[in-house]
Amino acid sequence: MPTLFTADAVVDPGGIRGDAVLVDRKRIVAVGHAASLRRAWIREEAFSGVIIPGLRDAHFHPVGYATSLQRPSLKNAGSFAEIAHILQNAAARQPAGTLVTGLRLDDTSLREARLPDRCFLDAAVPDHPALLLRYCGHVAVASTRSLDIASIGPDTPDPTGGSFDRDQHGPTGVLRETAVGLVTRALQPLAPAIEPADVATAVAGLAAAGLTGLGAIVSVDEGLWGGGTGELDLLLAAAPDIPLTLRVLVVAATPDALAAAADRIATSNGASFLGLKAFSDGSLGGHTAALHEPYADRPTTGTHRLDPAWADRMIRATSSLGGKVAVHAIGDAAATRVLDAMERAIDQGVDPAHLRVEHASVLTESDIERFGRLGVTACIQPAFLASEQDWLEGRLGSDRLSRTYAFRSLADAGTPLAGGSDCPVEPPHPLWGMAAARHRHGVVPSQALSAAEALALFTTGAAAAIGEEARLEPGLPATFTILGGDPLQTEAGALSDLEVIAAYVAGERLKVPASVRLWMD
């Protein structure tokens, strides 16, 4: 039966479209004014609010998010003593010998102003292997017991694309980049289980933030956030119970592993294959983002993780599967390397609309121009500014700061932009990301986006990046979000507080599970 959804207004990045959306058989029939669309035989649902295209998050870690609701967070810990207290409380609820994991460690907020080490963890939870993950996901701290389980000793060499911090006794327990994976893979069987139902409940609850679809990133062989089970396995088991659309980006090391994952996703219920996720460098917070020049506060240029020959091979393999390629690049040197690989691929016939650079945090002026010239998508996370505003200039210096999170410059260059949260690096609320894209937490205000551009980031832009269509047009799926106010007219500082009234996917209202706890750290 057709349904007419009415509201105070229907709004998209182009402005007001009317005040009603007519839906039949899961698709939009018309958008306009209720007075002209209303019929006696049409069912009507009226809302006091504003209908917008369905909000999407193009860069989201669903298993990591579910795990963040189960494991203790260290984000607000102010000292080593507070960390120890949190870990000891967690250990008291677990059997001896199981992995104690602390998530979202933020060394910049600690009284000690540094990362803890293995000796600290050995003393804090002596009866358990322990692992702390920095909130960026690119740095971890392992206890001695955890290092032993992973067979990491004084003579263990640094892996390609990663490193162990060392002192006179050997590894200190601080792991950077690919060194994290060496330990998490070994510890995975000891982690308390995350069940598919946990993932399904957590992701379904994202409807409370207005989200209707995700670019869901999973690994085929490890649970980065300590989930205990392979991320792809968990997501596919949970997918039938998740009402949001799931377009899956796979972290895979070989073409065969990627193809096998694509086949599994294609035959699953509730998810579809989107493509490959790869890494070119690390994080600014961990000093592992790869820069052309050294950091302003440490004599390093970070860590390169992308081998150009591997990148060429994996881009071809992903293209042959009909997928998109999304490569993490935070530092300007990493972005240059990724754009080089993508330009080679475009020259060989790969559609630039299938190529994404994730984060694109620090860029050279020439690479900003190259984004627009090539038509490669920049998938950006404005909410990073909330966590980095206090130390960003000190880490990069004023010259690079002007081309960091350069949203305005990218948009002016003609770059397709998509929005994401990188949750659980940042909270999963797209309105927070839209607000940060506009006010930027005061960091280089000249690089702000307009209200319309910020709305497009998490609607039409994010949808395009995950292979969906977010326009409110006849014939398209009736996927939309209803907010308590107009995001184009709401001041940036108040945008985060807009009420989310409802979210619809293909004409069906998403139900938020009664047990859900939407993480808004």
| Residue 36: strand, helix, or coil | helix
d(CA 432, CA 494): 10
The low-confidence residues of the chain, meaning pLDDT below 50, are none
Burial class (CB in 10 A: 0-12, 13-18, 19+), 515: exposed
d(CA 200, CA 404): 35
pLDDT tens figures, 282-332: 999 999 999 999 999 999 999 999 999 999 999 999 999 999 999 999 999
State the alpha helices, DSSP H only, in 21-96: 34-37, 62-68, 80-92
Q: For the domain bounded by 71-190, which CATH number is listed? A: 3.10.310.70
State the alpha helices, DSSP H only, in 69-223: 80-92, 118-124, 144-149, 178-187, 196-204
pLDDT computed for residue 326 by the predictor: 98
pLDDT computed for residue 516 by the predictor: 72
Fold of 56-62+194-509: TIM Barrel (3.20.20)
d(CA 475, CA 21): 12
What radius of gyration do the chain's Cα atoms show? 23
Instruction: Please calculate the CA angle 146-148-154 and round it to the nearest 5 degrees.
Output: 115
Burial class (CB in 10 A: 0-12, 13-18, 19+), 494: exposed
Q: How many residues does the chain have?
A: 521
DSSP states of 110-142 as a string?
A: STT-S---HHHHHHH-TTS-EEEEETTSSEEEE
Structure tokens at 219: 């690994």
Closest by CA to 459, choosing from 430, 432, 500, 436, is: 430
| Residue 211: strand, helix, or coil | strand
pLDDT computed for residue 224 by the predictor: 55
pLDDT computed for residue 450 by the predictor: 98
pLDDT computed for residue 222 by the predictor: 66
d(CA 265, CA 233): 10
pLDDT tens figures, 118-162: 999 999 999 999 999 999 999 999 999 999 999 999 999 999 999
| Residue 287: strand, helix, or coil | coil
Q: So where are the chain's domains? A: 56-62+194-509, 71-190
Indicate the Cα dihedral angle 206, 207, 210, 216, nearest 10°: 50
pLDDT computed for residue 407 by the predictor: 98
HSE-CB for 428 with a 13 A CA cutoff = 33
pLDDT computed for residue 227 by the predictor: 61
